[in-house]
Amino acid sequence: MSRNDVVIQDNGDVLAAATAARLITRLVDAQTAHGVASVVLTGGGIGIKVLEQVRVSPARDAVDWSRVEVYWGDERFLPDGDPERNETQARRALLDHVDVDPERVHPMAPSDGKFGDDADEAAAHYAEVLATIAEGASDIAVPSFDVLLLGIGEEGHTASLFPDTPYVRESQRTVVGVHDCPKPPPTRISLTLPAIRAASEVWLVISGEGKAEAVSSALAGADPVDIPAAGAHGREHTRWLLDRAASPP
Ligand SMILES: O=C1O[C@H](COP(=O)(O)O)[C@@H](O)[C@H](O)[C@H]1O
């Protein structure tokens, strides 16, 4: 039976620091249990702040970063090194500062990489990468991620799955090229809801009053087609990690 928790912190700074502490512990526990831990990163303001808090925590050295597999839940399809790419931001916030094994860091392709500007090809390739690493722990061809971080948008999008799009309805593919996004940049790559649901734990980390209505709808059981975040669940645990401003009234 999967658990669902809501934890509310006073403000975004406390939320970021508390989530960083929780993430360090989760990675250490996963390494203790099975040697190599896996994490799926998110972009967005609070998601990157969490990584910065991991970086400045003395406890970060409790993690053996060379035994962490790093993935992304979504990416803004922009040139390599673009400051708006989730990968660029995650590297600056944390990955450039810890001893990760480059072979275990799995960014989604940039728009000037080997797939050129073909986001669908880049997404199909990422699906192959995930399928190759998958241990067959679940029915779907992605690794059983130990922890998958997500943010949400004011309209309820999560990863790059926006409301009422073919992408949030996707039931077969694990990774999709996403086009005509309402939030820039318009082209993205995203895990789908079935891939997200393969994670052992899903943590939705959410800050700011602009998100409160979407959070409230998701927790009330909205249709994921309308509020994509409502469809994000972990196999074992789903944690809604909120600041007070983002909490339902
Ligand atoms: O564009 C994106 O936005 C969402 C939420 O970002 P925020 O800054 O409003 O918190 C994020 O979850 C997603 O990964 C990112 O690509």
Which residue ranges form the domains of the chain, and what is each CATH number? 8-143+154-230 (3.40.50.1360)
Q: Where are the alpha helices (DSSP H) in the chain?
A: 12-34, 45-56, 86-93, 119-133, 166-169, 193-196, 212-219
Let me know: does 243 contact 17? Beta carbons within 8 Å.
no
187 lines ligand 1 (CB under 6 A): no
- pLDDT at position 24 is 98
Q: Which atom of ligand 1 has the smallest separation from the CA of 42?
A: 14
Let me know: does 231 contact 165? Beta carbons within 8 Å.
no
45 lines ligand 1 (CB under 6 A): yes
- pLDDT at position 249 is 78
43 lines ligand 1 (CB under 6 A): yes
Distance in Å, CA 63 to ligand 1 centroid: 26
- pLDDT at position 170 is 98
In angstroms, the CA 161 to CA 190 distance is 7
- pLDDT at position 107 is 98
Q: Assess whether pLDDT exceeds 90 at residue 11.
A: yes
Q: Which of helix, strand or coil describes residue 245?
A: helix
In angstroms, the CA 15 to CA 36 distance is 26
In angstroms, the CA 200 to CA 202 distance is 7
State whether the Cα torsion 236-46-155-242 is positive or negative.
positive
- pLDDT at position 207 is 98
What number is the average pLDDT over the span 9-18?
98
* pLDDT band at residue 136 under the 50/70/90 scheme: low
DSSP letters along 78-139, please? Answer: --TT-TTSHHHHHHHHTGGGS---GGGB-PPPPTTSTTTT-HHHHHHHHHHHHHHH--S-SS
**Ligand 1 atom 10: residue of nearest CA:** 44
Q: Report the residue among 52, 87, 108, 152 best suited for mutation to probe ligand 1: largest number of ligand atoms under 8 A from its CB.
A: 152
Q: What is the mean pLDDT of the chain?
A: 97
- pLDDT tens, position by position, 188-222: 999 999 999 999 999 999 999 999 999 999 999 99
**Ligand 1 atom 6: residue of nearest CA:** 44
**Ligand 1 atom 8: residue of nearest CA:** 44
- pLDDT at position 137 is 56
Q: Assess whether pLDDT exceeds 70 at residue 117.
A: yes
What number is the average pLDDT over the span 100-128?
98
| 206 strand-pairing partners | 242
- pLDDT at position 138 is 65
156 lines ligand 1 (CB under 6 A): no
Q: Where are the alpha helices (DSSP H) in 134-209?
A: 166-169, 193-196
* pLDDT band at residue 2 under the 50/70/90 scheme: confident
42 lines ligand 1 (CB under 6 A): yes
Let me know: does 131 contact 186? Beta carbons within 8 Å.
no
- pLDDT at position 28 is 98
Q: Assess whether pLDDT exceeds 80 at residue 139.
A: no
Distance in Å, CA 15 to ligand 1 centroid: 16
Other residues' Cβ atoms within 10 Å of the Cβ of residue 81 = 11
206 lines ligand 1 (CB under 6 A): no
What number is the average pLDDT over the span 217-243?
98
Number of continuous H segments (helices) and E segments (strands) in the chain: 7, 9
What number is the average pLDDT over the span 124-144?
88
- pLDDT tens, position by position, 54-71: 999 999 999 999 999 999
Q: Which atom of ligand 1 has the smallest separation from the CA of 206?
A: 10
Burial class (CB in 10 A: 0-12, 13-18, 19+), 207: buried
Tokens (6 digits) for 153? 């948008």
40 lines ligand 1 (CB under 6 A): no
Other residues' Cβ atoms within 10 Å of the Cβ of residue 209 = 12
Please state whether the predicted TM-score (pTM) of the whole model is above 0.80. Answer: yes
